[in-house]
């Protein structure tokens, strides 16, 4: 187990969305455009790395019966800190992401990694795991977001690509489009992985 292999496993081999299938609720909800996807992905990655560090740091002192409660307190605290700091110093970004930040608390990837990885591994490995898993999550959101934004709105990152003659497939930016895209991409990723 090396730093680098922990770093890249989240992107492909154990991608949180396409392979482990964790944190699907926020992913489906915010992947209507690439911009939303990248914002949610980066904010979640930050919280994931921070909570992994702290969970790994205190892993020897926390009795296993109360560990989940402790993890949730840690994660919720980091989310609130991100929320406050962004609202004070990065207002434009905060306005764009406002509604997604509180959603990070309920993102199962973060609790999942605290439980499955950070509570059993060293701080350095937990940082690598956090970055990798967060990166894989961001990448997956970008993929879903790009398909949905392009088909549903004819644009990418808000720039109109397909021209005004293109009639958007509205269903793609509505909830059913999220399920369709997510299902199709999961199938593609898993069939590629099998080779």
Partner 1 sequence: MKEIIRLVGVLTTVCVLAGLSLAYVNEKTKEPRAYQDRLKLLSSLNMVLPQHDNQPDKDSVTVDGTTYYISKMGSGVNGIAFEASSDKGYSGMIRVMVGIKSGGEILSVGIIDQKETPGLGSKIAEGWFTDQYKGKSLDNAQWKVKKDGGDFDQISGATISPRAVTAAVKSGLEAYLKNKEQILGGSNVVQ
Kindly state the smallest distance separating residue 16's Cβ from partner 1, in Å.
23
41-80 footprint of partner 1 as x/- string (CB under 8 A): -----------------x--xxx-xx--xx--xx-xx--x
Burial 3-12 (b: 16+ CB within 10 A, else e): eeebbebbbe
Three-class SS of residue 57? helix
Plot region of 83 (φ>0 → left; ψ -120 to 50 → alpha; else → beta): alpha
Which one of residues 22, 26, 27, 32 is an interface residue with partner 1 (CB under 8 A)? Answer: 32
25 is an interface residue for partner 1 by CB under 8 A: no
CB of 38 to partner 1, least distance (A): 14
Site string for partner 1, 82-121 (x = CB under 8 A): --xx-xxx-x-------x----------------------
Dist CA 183 CA 16 (whole Å)? 14
**Which C-beta is closer to partner 1: that of 63 or that of 163?**
63
* Count of residues in contact with partner 1, rule CB under 8 A: 31
Residue 136: CB minimum distance to partner 1, A: 24
Q: Compute the distance between CA of residue 27 and CA of residue 69 in angstroms, rounded to an integer.
A: 24
Closest CA relative to residue 82, chosen from 129, 115, 50: 50
**φ, ψ dihedrals at 159, nearest 5°:** -90, 125
34-57 helix and 123-153 helix, angle to the nearest 10 degrees? 170
Write the interaction track for partner 1 spanning residues 128-167; mark x where CB under 8 A is met and - where it is not.
---------------------x--xx--------------
Contact 31, 148 (CB under 8 A): yes
Which residues here bind partner 1, judged by CB under 8 A?
A: 32-33, 36, 58, 61-63, 65-66, 69-70, 73-74, 76-77, 80-81, 84-85, 87-89, 91, 99, 149, 152-153, 168, 170, 173-174
């Amino acid at each position: 187990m090396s730093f680098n292999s922990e770093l890249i496993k989240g992107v492909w081999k154990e991608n949180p969305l396409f392979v482990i299938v964790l944190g699907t609720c926020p992913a489906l909800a915010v992947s209507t455009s690439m911009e939303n996807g990248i914002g949610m992905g980066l904010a979640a990655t930050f919280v994931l790395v921070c909570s992994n560090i702290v969970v790994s740091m205190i892993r020897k002192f926390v009795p296993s019966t109360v560990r989940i409660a402790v993890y949730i307190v840690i994660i919720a605290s980091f989310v609130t800190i991100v929320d406050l700091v962004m609202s004070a110093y990065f207002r434009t970004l905060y306005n764009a992401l406002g509604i997604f930040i509180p959603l990070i608390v309920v993102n199962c990837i973060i609790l999942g990694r605290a439980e499955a990885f950070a509570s059993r591994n060293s701080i350095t490995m937990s940082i690598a795991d956090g970055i990798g898993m967060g990166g894989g999550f961001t990448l997956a959101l970008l993929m879903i977001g790009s398909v949905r934004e392009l088909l549903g709105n004819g644009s990418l990152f808000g720039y109109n690509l397909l021209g005004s003659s293109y009639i958007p497939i509205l269903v793609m930016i509505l909830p059913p489009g999220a399920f369709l895209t997510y299902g199709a991409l999961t199938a593609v990723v898993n069939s590629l992985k099998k080779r």
